[in-house]
Structures are given as C-alpha cells and as structure tokens.
Amino acid sequence: MFDRSVALGASAGRTLLPALVGGPTRRTDVRARPGDRREWQGEEGRPEGRLRVRMVAEEDLPRLALLDQAIFVGAAYPYFVLRQLFDVHGDRFLVLDHGAGLSGYVLAATVPRGQVSWILGLGVLKQYRGLGHGRVLLAEMLRLLTDDQVGEVRLSVEPHNADAVALYRSLGFTEVGRRDGYFGRGGDRLIMALLLKR
C-alpha cells in the first residue's frame, strides 16, 4: 500500500503534519488573501535560488493537481478534491513557488472553535527534497496557525517513515498515540501533536 504520510527527505507519501524552523522572520498579515506571497531566499549556490511561500490562488489549481500527482504517484487527490479543499481551506493552503513552477505545498484545517488544527497534506517534489523546503512550508504554516491562536497542531504519520518522524520530533512534536488501521487496512499511523505558544 502506498504511504500518503509525507513526502520529505528520502521518503514519499502524505501526512497530517506541521513543523517549525527558521525561515522568514518578518511578520505579515495573517488575513492575507489567496495568492499573497512571502519570499524566502535559498542559500547561495543552492539549486532552489529564490523561493516564495504563498497562498494558493485559484489559477494554481491545474498546476497543483499535477504537482500532487508527481509527489504522490498512485495516491494523489482527485482534482475535484483539491478544488474543494481550496474552496474550504484556501487561506491555509500554501505552495512553494520557485519561479518556473510549484515545487511543494502544505495544507491545514482547523476544527470548529479554533483550538486544534490538523495538517492535511505536505509534499515536496523529489528533486527539491533534502533542501529544507518542507521545513520552510511547515514553518510558515505554524506561524499562521500561531497567529490564528490555535492551541495545538496534530498530524498523522506512517510509523516507518523515519525521516518524517525524526523531523517532527526535532521540531517539538511528540507522539500521542498509535492508530492501527487509521486509514483502513495497512494504513497504520502515529498521531503526533505540538502545543503552540499563544
């Protein structure tokens, strides 16, 4: 069974996750509209050059669908699901734009009353993994969720996805449970959580 837990480092998949790292320090309006941009300068000499973390815009949806298919081969969201996720959670749907196209995305959803958020998807194209791009996406998402006064962020991750589990632990996430069959037969997951400072 293909793991949609996470597409970071050397492994592939998807997860319900966020993380925290350096990235931009300048605060921006958290009520920004889809398509608003934040720039992050990659390290000198690295292939990523100038990257922008920005909210998904409606015109990105065809490219986002192709990106999702390239990252999550065999387990990509259907286009109509991406469309509906954009319609419902577009203000917490970020992409990594490297100028020539999109190279990754992260999506979060907050439960009613705003106390807990789940990361519904995170992925980075294979050729951009290991460069800190997933960390940059997750850092910006956590910044937005902190500004939203969310108290806790949760995620699920495939237990054998060592790269993802190590990343989340290094960022302060702790395991709060293991759910066998969480995504059906063969879809076991660790549930991890991070308390956000208000």
Task: Assign 3-class secondary structure to 78-112.
Answer: CHHHHHHHHHHHHHHEEEEECCCCEEEEEEEEECC
Query: What's the rounded mean pLDDT across residues 181-187?
Result: 88
The pLDDT of residue 49: 57
Backbone angles phi, psi at 115, to 5 degrees: -85, -30
pLDDT in tens, 103-135: 999 999 998 887 999 999 888 999 988 888 888
Average pLDDT of the chain to the nearest whole number: 77
Task: State how far the Cα of 197 lies from the Cα of 146, in Å rounded to an integer.
Answer: 7
User: What number of other Cβ atoms are within 10 A of residue 39's Cβ?
Assistant: 12
Q: What is the token pair recorded at 121?
A: 């998807």
The pLDDT of residue 135: 82
In terms of pLDDT, which residue wins out, 2 or 92?
92
pLDDT in tens, 19-46: 222 222 222 233 334 444 454 444 444 4
What CATH number should be reported for the domain whose range is 37-151?
3.40.630.30
Task: State how far the Cα of 77 lies from the Cα of 152, in Å rounded to an integer.
Answer: 26
Please report the sign of the dihedral spanned by the C-alpha atoms of residue 24, residue 141, residue 139, residue 148: positive
The pLDDT of residue 108: 95
Q: Residue 12 pLDDT > 50, yes or no?
A: no
Max Cα distance, the chain (Å): 45
Within the chain, how many helices (H) and strands (E) appear?
Answer: 4, 8
pLDDT in tens, 160-171: 988 888 878 877
Q: Where are the domains of the chain?
A: 37-151
pLDDT in tens, 42-66: 444 444 457 899 999 999 999 999 9
